Chain A
Amino acid sequence: MTEATVTSVAASTRRGRGRRKAGTHHGVKGFLFTAPFMVLFLGFFIAPLLYALYLSLFREQLVGGNAFVGLDNYKDGLSDPDFRSGVGRVALYMVVQVPIMLGLALVFALILDSAKVWFPRLFRVAFFMPYAVPTVIAALMWGYIYGRDFGPFADIADKLGTSPPNFLSEKLMLWSIANVATWTWTGYNMIIFYAALRAIPSELYEAAAVDGAGAVRIARYVKLPLLRPAILLCTIFSIIGSIQLFAEPQIFYAIAPQVIGKAYTPNLYVYNLAFSDQRLNYSAALSFLLGLIVFIFSILVMYMSRRQEETR
């Protein structure tokens, strides 16, 4: 998904630039070049969306067939307490987890880039490694680590004569999941930041050094401002990832069904509605509402970032 998004973004900016340079006369030729992308884009992004949109306007019952219900599914969705509490939960998660993760990724990237660490390659790989672990495996592994009776924390607590915190309880679950996600994705974001840092021309550093700036000031006034686009990109990807939280709660359901239930996150709810309750139409409508929420968040972040840039 992420890769596909990246390529589609790249393709779209490329297309934009091409058109500007060549003018409108060569539109046909340009379009031919982008045709392979457009075909895939229409077939795999737009067509399913339209189909889901179509589905979301109907209500098919197990008995009694299919009927057009207009926007009823959307109306139900907006007042559905399960959906709303799920959205609230992932929003809270997003507000806490995304800054922590990106902050850590940024610090790691700056440290690696400062060339003041031993074995930078080793650290780079080590930080990136969790990303190579499939989310499902990561969730299973952490599920074991969090275990109350037999995990490593349980062993340590046992040796100390106390009982371990219940990481999978209602209070801690969201943060336990946030921890898994942070573990998985920090390295990934760090690599993006690091790559962006390496692309900064060294003349800027030399100029800053001539002006008497130390490492910290260079980081603050040279590196960070130039990292803005990368930070914005990672922020938006992370927001999308947070709101779409699914794999971790889905895996944790097996070990803590009492906390996860059917609607812990909106995506999990959509999945359960579609495949357990067989309410495909309703789940399609909720997917659209969820998409809308992500859209609003993304726009908001971009707007805020642009305003900040303009006021500077």
Chain B
Amino acid sequence: MSNWSWRDGHRRLAVLLAFCFTAAALVAACGGGGDSGGGGGSSSGKKVDMAAELKKPANLTIWAWTPGTEKAVAMFEKAHPNIKVRLQNAGQGATGGHYRKVRTTIKSGKGLPDVVQMEFQYTPSFLLTKDLLDMTPYLPKNFLSNYPEWIRNQVNIQNGIYGIPWDSGPLAFIYRKDLLKKAGVKTPIVTWDDFAKAAEQYHKAMPDSYLTNLPGGQTGQWLGLFWQNGARPFTTDPSNFKADLTSPQVKQVTEYWDKLYANGSISHDADFASAWYQGFAKGKYAGWISAAWGPIFLQSYTKSSKGQWQAQALPVWKAGDKTSANWGGSTLAVLKATKSPAAATELARWMLTEQKPVRMFSAEPQFLFPTVNWMLKDPNWLNTKYAFYGGQQVNKVYADMASVVDKSWQWPPIFEYVNTTGDAIRSKSVDQGKGATVTLQPWQNAVVNYAKQQGLTVAGQ
């Protein structure tokens, strides 16, 4: 202790310390600089000689979180012995930090994957920063004619193809038939009015349980509900950006849910968190407004209720209507900086359009809802009975929903901001009992401010 000359070191220590932790605070903030451009990509409409390109050996890295991808990669490697593929799971979607990591590696220019899983809603945002490869030259002619129109619109932006559609997320309502029966709730629930009554009736009969849980956050799910009601809050074009989050169609949705929050007949726990999974395991939630991929997340927590689940059409605003929307759904996109654009595009195309992998993804336990037309029309697939759903031919329900998803919806090119800001302010307000409607104007203002600050041209401003 005696040789510790504390006082002598005082000033030097202070300076050092201050430096050290600023550095720590900054490690986060310091990406590399400069453009990550370059790489390959003859952007014009010219087709590339793929047969010649694919004979060259290539090493690819793919970042994806969907279960089963490892199987599809193995299939691809078997069919392409000269292409080696490294699969990495950088986190499950936005919650798992996937997009942040993609952004960081793009900024640093090091350790870049060639192919990345990209949900529909993120494609325009990565396109705005010019990080995605136009895959057109590496794909067969009229490639997109294999997909329904609304799916086509998700990847066909600015006359390019910026992703191979993987799965989509048509919204429906899934519920525990045993619990609803016990509470005396009649199914199917046709309109949102019926749904509100059913939620009250259910919670009265089962005080520890709720017909559904709708978190204040989870912007993706909320946008799906707005979408179903005909709201079109965004445009993709950064030179004519529109944000309209206070339209009557949006307000009708938030006011509806605010009523259910206020009378306590539904819960608003944060989703995809441990308590939420436990909530399904222990029957706290009897249903979920979810997309076709829903069971992926539930199956390991619902072993005791396996076979008790049912899917039904999403309730509608007017009896007799049939409307739905989309939540989630992915593509595989190729980053512009890839050194092997041909091989990377082929990996995405092969895994997501060839019979073997597509059939694997579209079956239990993957539960992905396919996007290619031939699979959507496959009678065997449509008639498949799922054990999770107690033998229900659930694909018919989702195919029905997918057929009524409106195709004019557009994603904002600043989705990350729209999403995180929406999550933050809406979840806080709902948790404090103030509801979702009061957050629409602040959200709108924040989005418009951010868009202007980032140099987008905002329509009507």
Interface, chain A (partner B; CB < 8 A): 1, 4-5, 8-9, 12-13, 16-17, 44-46, 48-49, 51-52, 55, 61-64, 143-144, 147-150, 170, 196, 199-200, 226, 229, 232, 236, 240, 243-244, 254-259, 261-262, 267, 270-272, 274-278, 280, 283-284, 287-288, 290-291, 294-295, 298-299, 302, 306
Given contacts A62-B455, A257-B423, contact A306 B275 (CB under 8 A): no
Q: How far is the CB of A195 from chain B (nearest CB, A)?
A: 10
- Give Cα A180 to B33, complex, Å: 36
Docked CA distance A284–B27 (Å):
10
Residues from chain A with Cβ under 8 Å of B454 in the complex: 61-63, 278
Contact A278 B29 (CB under 8 A): no
Instruction: State the majority secondary structure of interface residues on B.
Output: helix
Q: Chain B residues with Cβ under 8 A from A147's Cβ? A: 274-275, 278
Contacts of A258 in B (CB 8 A): 216-217, 270, 427-428, 430-432
Name the one of B22, B215, B273, B423 contacting A294, with C-beta atoms under 8 angstroms: B22
Decide if A5 touches B273 in the complex (CB within 8 Å). no
Interface string of B272-294 (1 = CB under 8 A from A): 11110011001010000000000
Known: A52-B29, A287-B26. Contact between A150 and B238, CB under 8 A?
no
Q: What chain B residues lie within 8 Å of A288 (beta carbons)?
A: 22, 26
**Candidates B104, B275, B284, B455; contact of A255 at CB < 8 Å:** B275
B29 and A283 contacting across the interface, CB-CB below 8 Å: yes
B150 to chain A, nearest CB (A): 26
Are A277 and B455 in contact (CB-based, < 8 A)? no
Q: Are A55 and B29 in contact (CB under 8 A)?
A: yes
Contact, CB under 8 Å: A257 / B217: yes
Chain B residues 393-448 with CB under 8 Å of chain A are 413-414, 416-417, 420-421, 423-425, 427-428, 430-432
Contact B25 A244 (CB under 8 A): yes
Q: Is there a chain A Cβ closer than 8 Å to B100's Cβ?
A: yes
User: What number of A-B contacts does a CB cutoff of 8 Å give?
Assistant: 195
Q: Which of B19, B217, B417, B456 contacts A277 (CB 8 A)?
A: B417
B21: min CB distance to chain A, Å: 5
Distance in angstroms from B270 CB to nearest chain A CB is 5
| Extra pairs beyond A51-B30, A55-B29, A257-B270 (5, CB < 8 Å) | A45-B20, A244-B24, A275-B103, A290-B25, A295-B14
CA gap between A283 and B22 in the complex, in Å: 12
Question: Given that A62-B455, A295-B14 are contacting pairs, would A9 and B100 also be in contact in the complex, using a CB cutoff of 8 Å?
Answer: no
Give the A-binding residues of B (Cβ under 8 A): 1, 4-10, 12-14, 16-31, 33, 95, 100, 103-104, 107, 128-129, 215-217, 238, 270, 272-275, 278-279, 282, 284, 413-414, 416-417, 420-421, 423-425, 427-428, 430-432, 450, 453-456
Option from B18, B31, B423 in Cβ contact (under 8 Å) with A295:
B18
Distance to closest chain A CB from B5 (angstroms): 6
Question: Are A62 and B129 touching (Cβ within 8 A)?
Answer: yes
Residues in A neighbouring B413, C-beta threshold 8 A: 62
From B23, B238, B420, give the contact of A276 (CB < 8 A).
B420
Inter-chain contact A284/B20, CB cutoff 8 Å = no
Chain A residues with CB below 8 A from B27, complex form: 48
Residue of A nearest to B107 (CB): A280
22 pairs, A vs B, C-beta closer than 8 Å: A12-B16, A16-B9, A49-B26, A62-B238, A62-B455, A63-B238, A149-B278, A149-B279, A149-B282, A150-B282, A200-B1, A229-B1, A254-B95, A257-B427, A258-B216, A258-B270, A259-B431, A280-B29, A280-B107, A294-B18, A295-B14, A295-B17
CA distance A32 to B311 in the complex (A): 73
Contacts of B10 in A (CB 8 A): 302, 306
B22 engages A254 (CB within 8 Å): no
Q: How far is the CB of B222 from chain A (nearest CB, A)?
A: 13
**B429: nearest chain-A partner, CB-CB:** A258
Residues from chain A with a CB closer than 8 A to the CB of B270 are 254-258
Listed from nearest, the 8 A-B pairs whose CB atoms lie closest are A291-B22, A64-B455, A258-B431, A63-B455, A61-B455, A295-B18, A258-B427, A275-B100
